[in-house]
Amino acid sequence: LAIPYLYWGHLDTALKHAERGLEIAQQLEMQELLPNAYTILGNVLTRMGETARAEAALRQSLEIAQQLGLAAYDQVMAAGYLAYNLYSQGRVDEAQQLAEGSLWAFAGNPDTYEVYVCRSVLADISLEKGRDEEAEQLFIDLLEVGERRRFRLPLAMVYFGLAYIALKRGDREKGVDYARRSLALVEPTNAVQLYLDQGERAVVVCRALKKAGVSSPFVDEVLARLGKNASARPRVIENKAVVVRTLGAFRVFVNGQEVSQERWVSARARDMLAYFITFRHDRIPMERVQEALWPQTASLGPRAFHTALYRVRQALRAGSESTKFILVQSGEYWLDAARFQVDVDEFDAALAQARHLMHQRPEEAERWFETALALYQGDYLANLYYDWLFPEQRRLREAHLQALRHLAGLRMNTRRYEDALSLLNQALALDPLQEQVHLDAMRCYAALGNRAAVARQYRQLEEALRRELGVGPDPVIRAAYENMMAVT
């Protein structure tokens, strides 16, 4: 049920069915169905723009399929959708490596539907990288198999890709022909989401069809829904995910309501969830969790662990549901990450998009950096005090500083020096020893013609370095400062 609603673009309905399907498979312990359930959930979430949570679901699908030794084509399908997810996040090279590696390892029939989908993702990746000739050849290679095996919707998107490439290079006749073939396959199914996924490319193809005199409600709907912002993705309005905020104080929300201390029963239950959130990509033996949370009281043994685990599950459950949230197999425990929407994942995904777009589409990159900075509300798990959280805390603190610097750089490139200075000062308030940030601030002041501020900034750098490290500024920084003072 989730799949047709997904293709029709009814994403909220598709999500409800996907989440319910996963819930049933888990409740009935139907292990062989779990990979497919996670794949469908991840596919829906990717289309909704929840790429971080989607990635977690798709990785779980791939891992379970490998552990169960399921058919190789199941693994190829999960890998293909995961590659598409990474591509949607701007992690194009990673997506390509995953798809190519999955196809290389596949020893079955090369004409299966799953392999076809994975190969078409590779063609999309080549197109995203601007390698149009390579993408075109990949699409052409898929035509014969798609026609012979009657892979209706994937074939429609192969024709779509060829249409876009032809239109892009100015071959209007061939482009419209391919576009008509794509439309003939996809329109009867009303799988409008497949075109919506293509964003600006869909606008190009649909406008070419309109200009060629094609009258199609399908085309009209695509253009209307994409509107002016073809790159925008719909956001999840309501779902069953547990929302976790770790940037700043640790906060957890179920159905929009924050989990209170009374509901946790004990702080240790709350801290256990924080631990599993931190290591949400790992499978962890009980002993390791005990050592992390009860280092001085190991004698408490399994009883304390299971009590805290029970309280975590009870605190997160809504109504009569029996979701476990933390799964176990063969003595190892792991977070059911597809059930959680974690701000760190959203932060990392926003930064990945921003970095990917910095040089190609700087205005979009700015918006993604702004999204990441808005998510960063303070140090990771700022209200908890455990050694195991420090590495992640340091990583995120450095990522935050880099985001401030990159966004300031984009503002400097467009001569918005006051805006850039605001960001640079935020970075220096967090770490006053960053010489390059001081230099960028001096450049902003110099561009504004404020010679006194350039000198003041350099003195602040000198004082910070001598006070904390007993050294002076780098000779390169000093030379740049002297040059600015000579010119300003």
Residue range 388-414, pLDDT digits in tens: 999 999 999 999 999 999 999 999 999
Arithmetic mean of pLDDT over the chain: 91
What pLDDT, on the 0 to 100 scale, is given for residue 46?
93
What pLDDT, on the 0 to 100 scale, is given for residue 379?
96
Q: Select the more confidently predicted residue: 359 or 73.
A: 359
- Candidates 408, 389, 388; CA nearest to 400 is 408
The model's confidence at residue 70, banded by pLDDT at 50, 70 and 90, is: low
Q: Select the more confidently predicted residue: 293 or 108.
A: 293
Q: Is the pLDDT reported for residue 235 higher than 50?
A: no
Q: Is the pLDDT reported for residue 138 higher than 90?
A: yes
What pLDDT, on the 0 to 100 scale, is given for residue 231?
46
The model's confidence at residue 323, banded by pLDDT at 50, 70 and 90, is: confident
Q: Is the pLDDT reported for residue 168 higher than 90?
A: yes
What pLDDT, on the 0 to 100 scale, is given for residue 234?
43
- Please tell me the least confidently modeled range out of 112-116, 159-163, 253-257, 376-380: 112-116
Residue pair 308/293 in contact by the 8 Å Cβ criterion: yes
Q: Give the separation between CA 59 and CA 334, rounded to whole angstroms.
A: 13
What pLDDT, on the 0 to 100 scale, is given for residue 457?
96
What pLDDT, on the 0 to 100 scale, is given for residue 131?
93
- Candidates 370, 391, 369, 367; CA nearest to 379 is 391
Q: Give the separation between CA 194 and CA 198, rounded to whole angstroms.
A: 7
Average pLDDT, stretch 52-62?
A: 92
CB atoms within 10 A of CB 310: 12
What share of the chain has pLDDT > 90, as a percent?
77
What would the pLDDT profile of 23-44 be if each residue is shown by its tens digit?
Answer: 999 989 898 899 999 999 999 9
Give the DSSP H/E element, type plus range, for residue 380: none
The string of DSSP codes covering 51-116 is HHHHHHHHHHHHHHHHHHT--HHHHHHHHHHHHHHHHHTT-HHHHHHHHHHHHHH--S-TTSHHHH
Average pLDDT, stretch 417-428?
A: 96
Residue pair 306/312 in contact by the 8 Å Cβ criterion: no
> Which residue's entry shows tokens 């110099």?
446
Domain annotation for the chain: domains and CATH numbers = 2-226 (1.25.40.10), 240-388 (1.10.10.10), 415-488 (1.25.40.10)
CB atoms within 10 A of CB 38: 30
The model's confidence at residue 422, banded by pLDDT at 50, 70 and 90, is: very high
Q: What is the pTM of this model?
A: 0.80
Torsion angle (degrees, nearest 10) of CA 171, 177, 181, 183: 80
Per-residue buried b or exposed e for 142-164, using 16+ beta carbons within 10 Å of the residue's own CB: beebbeeeebeebbbbbbbbbbb
What would the pLDDT profile of 260-301 be if each residue is shown by its tens digit?
Answer: 999 999 999 999 999 999 999 999 999 999 999 988 776 666
Q: Select the more confidently predicted residue: 220 or 91.
A: 220
Average pLDDT, stretch 252-259?
A: 93
What share of the chain has pLDDT > 70, as a percent?
95
Average pLDDT, stretch 367-393?
A: 95
What pLDDT, on the 0 to 100 scale, is given for residue 152?
94
What pLDDT, on the 0 to 100 scale, is given for residue 232?
44
The model's confidence at residue 106, banded by pLDDT at 50, 70 and 90, is: confident
Average pLDDT, stretch 46-57?
A: 91
CB-based burial label for 299 (10 Å; 0-12, 13-18, 19+): exposed
